[in-house]
Structure 1
Amino acid sequence: MDYSLLVWLLPTLALVIGVAVGFLVARVLPNAVPNSTQRQLDDIQERFDSYQNEVVTHFNSTAILVKKLTQSYQEVQDHLAEGANRLALDELTRQRLLAALHSDSTTQAHRERLTPPRDTEVPKDYAPKAPNSPGMLDEQYGLKRK
């Protein structure tokens, strides 16, 4: 009977010890792994947030620069108009200068597109031939008749 008890007791004891060790390992290891995973996730989130802030800052500064550019362009336009009014010798010259100044800004905004050609015939993918003459795929094409 001792022998049969030993046959059952050793595998049962090994199973209990294996379950206990597995349980302890499962409790200890997951605590270490999520910390590194959580740190990686936090690092990625921090980099993403800083990238978003950089993008917002970039577009804000671009908008400010475009606004300054528009204001500078308007100041140049006003300066040219004032110079045309002050420096033109007669009314006709003044009117032509002001018209040229304002026509440049309107013609650039309202330029017309090039008109397409009127002949819209589709290109042929074969060689044209005269009526009642053999085509290029004919057996007799290019051969002299006797």
Structure 2
Amino acid sequence: MEQSLTTWLLPAIALLTGIAIGFLIARLLPNAAPSRTQRQLDDLKERFDSYQGEVVNHFNTTANLVKRMTQSYQDVQEHISAGANRLALDELTRQRLLAALNSDDGYSAPRERLTPPANNEMPKDYAPKSDDSPGTLDANFGLKSKKS
């Protein structure tokens, strides 16, 4: 009886000890894992916030540069207009210079307009056939007739 008690008692104690050690390890390791995961999450959040700041900075700089470019363009136009008024020898030359300056594309030639097609028929997705020839779904389509 003592021998059978020892045979069962040692594995039972080993099992309980293993469960206790496993429980302690399980309690200690998850605390380390969330802190590592939390650090990774915080790092990713910091990188994302930095990226967002760079994007906002980029678009603010772009907006400022476009604003400066627009202002420079307006300044150039005013300079050319003032020069045309001051330097043109006669009224006709002055009017031609101002008209060229104020045109949209810089050219005084009128634009050629595209005309719509005369035929408003929708394009066909099949080949048209003549009235006396069979269609592609006809039983005799593609067959040569024997003429005697």
| Shared fold per TM-score greater than 0.5 | yes
Query: Which position in structure 1 is the counterpart of 2:98?
Result: 98
- Cα distance in 2 between the residues matched to 1:140 and 1:13: 93
Query: Which position in structure 2 is the counterpart of 1:22?
Result: 22
What are the superposed Cα offsets for residues 52-74 of structure 1, whole Å, 9 maximum, x if unpaired? 11111110110111011101110
TM-score in terms of structure 2 length: 0.75
Gaps of 5+ in 1: none
Given that residues 84 and 97 in structure 1 are in contact (C-alpha distance below 8 angstroms), is that contact kept between their aligned partners in structure 2? Answer: yes
Gaps of 5+ in 2: none
- Cα distance in 2 between the residues matched to 1:20 and 1:59: 59
Query: Which position in structure 1 is the counterpart of 2:63?
Result: 63
The Cα RMSD (Å) is 3.1
Offset at residue 30 of structure 1 (A): 1.5
- Cα distance in 2 between the residues matched to 1:49 and 1:64: 23
Matches within 5 A, 1:1-146: 1-3=1-3, 5-6=5-6, 8-104=8-104, 114=114, 116-124=116-124, 125-129=126-130, 131=131, 133-135=132-134, 137=136, 138-139=140-141, 143=145, 145-146=147-148
- Cα distance in 1 between the residues matched to 2:135 and 2:116: 33
Given residue 74 of structure 2, which amino acid in structure 1 is its aligned partner? Q
- Cα distance in 1 between the residues matched to 2:51 and 2:135: 65
Given residue 127 of structure 2, which amino acid in structure 1 is its aligned partner? Y
Count of matched residue pairs: 141
Offset at residue 49 of structure 1 (A): 1.4
